[in-house]
Amino acid sequence: MSHRIALSFEDGVTRFIECRDSETVLDAAYRQRINLPMDCSDGVCGTCKCRAEQGSYDLGDDYIEDALTEDEAAEGLVLTCQMVPSTDCVIAVPLPSTACKTGTSQFDATLVRITPHQDAALEVEFEVDEGAEAPVFLPGQYVNIAVPGSEQTRSYSFSSAPGARRLSFLIKQVPGGLMTGYLTEAAIGQTLSLTGPLGSFYLREVKRPLLLLAGGTGLAPFLSMLEVLATQGSTQPVQLLYAVTRDEDLVLVEQLQAYAQRLPNFAFATIVAAEASTHARKGFVTHHLPADALHGGEVDVYLCGPPPMVDAVRRHLGELGVTPASFHYEKFTPSTAGLKEVA
């Protein structure tokens, strides 16, 4: 029996390895030519210390206290030279991928559908080329898509679930934008190059209620997360606030309604900022953030949206005096190059 281990590097690169039964993560990584940090491999030096963010494992009993203290182990720190997984795991490696002699993966996919949502967004679908493995990623991560006819890429979060052969993305229509211009003229059947998965914005193990905050096409990674939660049969409360600028920017609401049927503890609300809107909830996400959604701080917050939204939410939580158990965010700037900042 083997387990799939996601190695999440500090530069945003994620590599997946297979760890055999009774095999340590360090040995599995080396077998697959990823050089995780190591000096002794005997549980003495602590050089291979990483953080296990998800999954079950045996810490081993051959390491010394100086290499890994009880408090560190309680916080999820592990020695990869001793750690033996018993399930799939996600491990945060405190080094860039290049320091471990690895890097991003690249694959090709064929454009199969483009669905416009007025002038707001494009729902773009790709099919993984026959004979190639479906890409594995963590729900919430993104890829860089090469724009044909240029030497540039744009970054987009998966809205589809990990492991699917059909990949979907929600792409903001940017007037004069490089990718928007290409997709407006693109022919179905063209092959594009994708690089990834990338990003540290992904769904962690669900141990408490979730608060999901989406701004515009920042809805995309949450669709991937919701599909995983629904498939897993999650029972934790999940609240999603979906904020946009105009009424026309509210897209794929029917998908959220479908998830409300599949996830009994999932609820969502939509918010429109434009003064001219007749929407029931007007303003910004901070105007409609219910106190009970914060669960007194016993909540994991995920936020994906433009920089002003991210900054406003962080400031608002500070004013409320609420510190979430964890706060993960991804800033994007669709008007430039689709650049992302994650934390």
**Lowest-confidence segment of 23-32, 59-68, 135-144, 240-249 by average pLDDT:** 59-68
What is the pLDDT at residue 335?
45
Question: Mind spelling out the 3-state secondary structure of 52-64?
Answer: EEECCEECCCCCC
What is the pLDDT at residue 61?
84
The C-alpha atoms of residue 43 and residue 64 are separated, in whole angstroms, by 6
The ranges of the chain annotated as CATH 3.10.20.30 are 2-100
**How much of the chain is in helix, strand and coil states, percent to nearest 5?**
25, 35, 40
Residue 284, SS3 per DSSP:
coil
Instruction: Give the sign of the dihedral formed by CA 212, CA 216, CA 221, CA 226.
Output: positive
What average pLDDT does range 90-101 have in this prediction?
96
Q: Residue 47: pLDDT band by 50, 70, 90 thresholds?
A: very high
What average pLDDT does range 130-139 have in this prediction?
88
Average pLDDT, the chain: 94
What predicted TM-score, i.e. pTM, was given to this entire model?
0.92
Q: Is the pLDDT of residue 195 over 80?
A: yes
Q: What is the pLDDT of residues 297-316, one digit of tens each?
A: 999 999 999 999 999 999 99
**Class for the domain spanning 2-100:** alpha beta
The C-alpha atoms of residue 16 and residue 163 are separated, in whole angstroms, by 12
Q: Determine what percent of the chain is predicted with pLDDT higher than 70.
A: 97
Q: Choose among 197, 196, 203: nearest CA to 90.
A: 203
Q: What is the pLDDT of residues 225-277, one digit of tens each?
A: 999 999 999 999 999 999 999 999 999 999 999 999 999 999 999 999 999 99
The ranges of the chain annotated as CATH 3.40.50.80 are 210-342
Residue 180, SS3 per DSSP:
helix
What is the pLDDT at residue 101?
94
Q: Is the pLDDT of residue 340 over 80?
A: no
Classify residue 186 by its DSSP letter: P
Residue 9, SS3 per DSSP:
strand
Please give the CATH architecture assigned to the domain spanning 210-342. 3-Layer(aba) Sandwich (3.40)
Q: Residue 339: pLDDT band by 50, 70, 90 thresholds?
A: low
What is the pLDDT at residue 337?
42
* CA–CA distances in Å: residue 90 to residues 95, 265, 306: 15, 25, 27
Strand arrangement of the beta sheet that strand 2-9 belongs to: 14-20, 2-9, 89-93, 49-54, 77-79
Q: What is the pLDDT of residues 10-39, one digit of tens each?
A: 999 999 999 999 999 999 999 999 999 999
Q: Choose among 231, 235, 209, 213: nearest CA to 222.
A: 213
What is the pLDDT at residue 326?
96
What is the pLDDT at residue 310?
93
Give kind and range of the element (H or E) at residue 181: helix 178-185
* CA–CA distances in Å: residue 186 to residues 129, 150, 159, 256: 18, 14, 20, 28
What average pLDDT does range 75-84 have in this prediction?
96
Superfamily in which the 106-198 domain is placed by CATH: Translation factors (2.40.30.10)
Instruction: Give the sign of the dihedral formed by CA 215, CA 163, CA 54, CA 64.
Output: negative
The ranges of the chain annotated as CATH 2.40.30.10 are 106-198
What is the pLDDT at residue 129?
82
Contacts 24+ apart (CB under 8 A), 161-166: 161/224, 161/227, 161/228, 161/231, 162/135, 162/136, 162/137, 162/138, 162/224, 162/228, 163/134, 163/136, 164/134, 165/127, 165/128, 165/134, 166/112, 166/125, 166/126, 166/127, 166/128
Q: Is the pLDDT of residue 216 over 60?
A: yes
What is the pLDDT at residue 179?
96
Residue type, 107: F
What is the pLDDT at residue 334?
57
